Amino acid sequence: MIINCKKIANEIISETKPKVDELHKNGIVPCIAIVMAGNDYASKIYIHNKSKACQKAGIRTREIIFRENISEYELMKSIEKLNNDKSVTGILVQLPLPKHMDEKKVCEIISPAKDVDVFNPINFGNFIIGNTDLTPCTAYGIMKVLKYEQIKISEKHCVVVGRSNIVGKPISHLLLKSDATVTVCHSKTHNLENFCKNADVIVSATGVPKLIKKNMVKNGAVVIDVGINRDENGKLCGDVDFENVEPLCSYITPVPKGIGLVTVAALVHNAMKTACFNLFKNK
């Protein structure tokens, strides 16, 4: 079964909108500042999609696009101003940033109360110990997909391919919380095939086109493809060799129109949450 991620994304937004409407009734208008440096075409598309999704839920967006050669100091100074702007309830920095900037340093300056991506180390630490309502967007979206399709995770063997702070580590943590046995693989893992072919669930987030082949997936496995890449012909594809792997799977996510859609919907959910944080903070 090919999972309909668009339908799930719309459901996340539909669940979020009544809570945003309630904020409006209390005089709070959620507003997300989306900060970008440079003219990357793909980044502009992502910003457009994020703004469109936010607007569906009644959340305003403010797109702030700087020139490519803006200094790291100037960019961070502008983020500090947004931190102190009471009309802004959430901030995200569109990645990648220009090469002369330290992405980690820039993202960490975002106020924890406005950090919709959960990049600030305070928020990420609180997420790990279960002390916050904010969840990294892609991990949140993946768990919503599994729940929507009623895919049992408890007691299952899940293999996560990738160990980034954005996807690999957060989703591994949530799968563990759901009582799965989790194996994390990465670029230095030997015999990746042996780990994957024994998995009930595979989550791949490596950015390597068609890394997960037919011989690496057992019959009936669930495959969640987080990767968005270009193949040798310039066509969009994921980490999974979809055409050959799909017949083996009980469930699989497509690329495009897959996990990327639920990740954006999760951002909308987090934008509602940070608006609530700021409501209580300013009272």
Query: What is the DSSP code (8-state) at residue 2?
Result: B
> 6 to each of 66, 228, 251, 265, how far by Cα in Å?
31, 16, 15, 10
Structure tokens at 86: 């009471």
Residues 246, 260: Cα–Cα separation, whole Å: 19
Catalytic site residue from 94, 115, 210, 239: 94
Q: Catalytic annotation on 50?
A: yes
Q: Which residues contact 195 (CB under 8 A, 6 or more apart)?
A: 159, 183, 185, 189
User: What sign has the CA pseudo-torsion 119, 120, 125, 131?
Assistant: negative
Would you tell me how many other CB atoms lie within 10 Å of the CB of residue 283?
Answer: 5
Catalytic site residue from 7, 21, 40, 50: 50
Q: Catalytic annotation on 55?
A: no
Residue with tokens 């768990």: 143
Residues 283, 280: Cα–Cα separation, whole Å: 5
Q: Catalytic annotation on 197?
A: no
Catalytic site residue from 117, 200, 225, 241: 117
Instruction: Report, as residue numbers or ranges, the catalytic residues.
Output: 50, 94, 117
